[in-house]
Amino acid sequence: MGACFSRQPRQPGTRSGAKQQEDLQVSASPDLASSKERAKHPAVSKAAAPPKAQQAAAATQHTPRSSVPTRSTSSHSPFIGNVSSAGPDEPSNLRERYRILRKLSKRSRSPVFEAVHRATKERVAIKLLARGPDCSTLLRGIENHLELSHPHIIDIKEVHLTPKYLGLVLEFAPGGDLFQYIQSHGSLTETETRRIFQQLIIALEYCHGKGIVNRDLKPENTLIMTRKGMPFVKLSDFGYSKMEAIETQLRTQVGTVGYTAPEILMGLNHSNEVDIWSAGVMLYVMLFGAYPFLEDSELMEERAKFTLTHQRVLAADYKLPADAHVSTDVADLLKGLLVVNPAHRLTIPAIMKHPWFREALPEKATLLNSRCWATSWSLHQDRSEVHDLLIQAQYSP
């Protein structure tokens, strides 16, 4: 019944990423090794959300069945470029500005590289998406990400168009991703889990206040800026995100098996409550180093495991590990997050009022989002210019 904490497969029928060729490339997240360690322990703020209409106008990740998952990744540079090269042999503007240090991701469809700006020596991550029709499915998520400027969200610093790729220059996260971090520890203390969860909820409150639903929250998409003391984390991938004011009927089956909310699995119209479910799964994974619903028995065929996992999600059929030593408060919070009916799931304001969440909450955390909501477009490139580049990226050179 135990399954390694590893990268989870995508939902059947979810959109596929663009195929990549080996060229310039950038960062994702590594795999977690299985572990039976399970630790104990407790986890960041509150602010009133702005009117979504205003934001829309600005926009045109039993006993645990699966042990620690094994993987299935704000300042802006003044050197903004937007090269739309005329020929395949023309040097990439990215290569002129940046020196590639190493490949961070193993995924061929959207390779990520660590790089350094040749003039400023600033370290960045560069993510490449192959130009062409496949790229079009990613553009809405990129546009949504560009609307976000927050201490707990990775910045997009520059957007480039090369003969082969749409290149995104991203804020670099030296601490790797949360998936790696959990894998290296087996599980996290309740205190450490609480601090990370607080940051996650603050970021979600901000996104939802901007009318954006992430739909693919998981440790692999949560990056760590520093591991000194308590980890400082940032959300990094908005590829499946949707702007609610523009796309009012959200029915697409997207996300990652093990983290996906029941309403998505059932093909129902859904809203930002799906992010609350995924946050609950992440809370469980951090505390116990295991997935609450995933079945990964070596004695079962893949299809049977997949079906059983779905059945457990649809019934919210999970249990705390028999040897778990966690507070009653965090167990109560989990019970309120992993609720099948989204109407009965805890809301973000309710989460922020929960005793477990409020413990050791930084004093200024509740003021953060009210300041961030006042900021709209923060990229140094013009909005229309970037929009044009994204449109051009849909067409092969």
5 close to 67: Cβ distance less than 8 angstroms = yes
- Taking the C-alpha atoms of residue 107 and residue 112, their distance in angstroms, rounded to an integer, is 8
Q: Are 211 and 56 in contact (CB under 8 A)?
A: yes
**CA–CA separation, 126 vs 146, rounded Å?**
15
Candidates 216, 275, 296, 329; catalytic one: 216
CA within 13 Å, CB half, 110: 20
Give which of 214, 205, 351, 226 is closest to 283, Cα–Cα: 351
Q: What gap in Å lies between CA 64 and CA 122, rounded to an integer? A: 42
DSSP percent split of the chain into helix, strand, coil, nearest 5: 35, 15, 50
In whole angstroms, what is the distance from residue 357 CA to residue 333 CA?
9
Rg value, the chain, Cα: 20
Strand-strand pairing, 112-117 and 123-130: antiparallel
Among residues 52, 56, 130, 73, which one has the least CA distance to residue 394?
130
Helix (H) or strand (E) holding 353: helix 348-353
The residue with tokens 């560009």 is 146
DSSP state of 56: H
The structure tokens listed for 8 are 């989870």
Instruction: Round to whole Å and give the CA distance between 252 and 258.
Output: 17
Q: CA 307, 204, 12 angle in degrees (round to 5)?
A: 25
CB 34 within 8 A of CB 78: no
Cα atoms in the Cβ-side hemisphere of radius 13 Å centred on 155 = 19
Active site residue 323: no
Query: What CA–CA distance (Å, rounded) separates 144 from 301?
Result: 38
Both structure tokens of 86: 């005329």
Catalytic annotation, residues:
216
